[in-house]
Amino acid sequence: MDHFDIPLFKKSYDLYKTLYGYRLAVPKLDRYGIWQKTENTLLEVIEHVLLASQKAKQEKISHLEQASSSLNLLRVFIRLMKDTKALDMKKYLILEVAIEEIGRMLGGWIKSTKE
C-alpha cells in the first residue's frame, strides 16, 4: 500500500500547500510567531497521519489522536490569525473548509480503528 495515496494524507498535504501559498500575504510581524506555530502544527498533523498509515491497527490510534489534537490546535491558530487580521476572511474560509473536511475524515478513521 502506498501511504501517499491515503485521502486524508492528500487533503492534509494540499492544505499545507494552500497555507504555504498564503505566507507572503501574512504581515511580516506575524510570520515568525503565530504563522510559524500554525505551519508547524499542520506539519504535525501530516506527520501523525503518515505514521498512523504505517502502523498496525492497535498502534494507529495514538497517532490518529495526536493528529486530531494538533488539528484542533490548528483550528484555534487559524481563527486567531483571522481575528488579529493576520489572515483575511477569504483565506480563512478556504482554510477552515479544508480543516473541517480533514476533521471529518480523521474522526471517521479514528472511529473505524476503535471498532
Q: Check which CATH number belongs to the domain holding 19 and give it.
A: 1.20.1440.60
Count of structural domains, the chain: 1
Mutual angle of helices 89-114 and 7-21, in 10-degree steps: 160
Kindly report the pTM of this predicted structure.
0.93
Segment (H or E) for 21: helix 7-21
Domain span at 81:
3-114
pLDDT recorded at residue 67 = 98
- Average pLDDT of each block of 10 consecutive residues along the chain (115 residues)? 79 97 92 94 97 91 97 98 96 98 97 91
Q: Alpha-carbon distance 29 to 23, whole Å?
A: 12
Q: Going by C-beta distance under 8 Å and a sequence separation of 6 or more, which residues neighbour residue 70?
A: 41, 42, 44, 45, 48
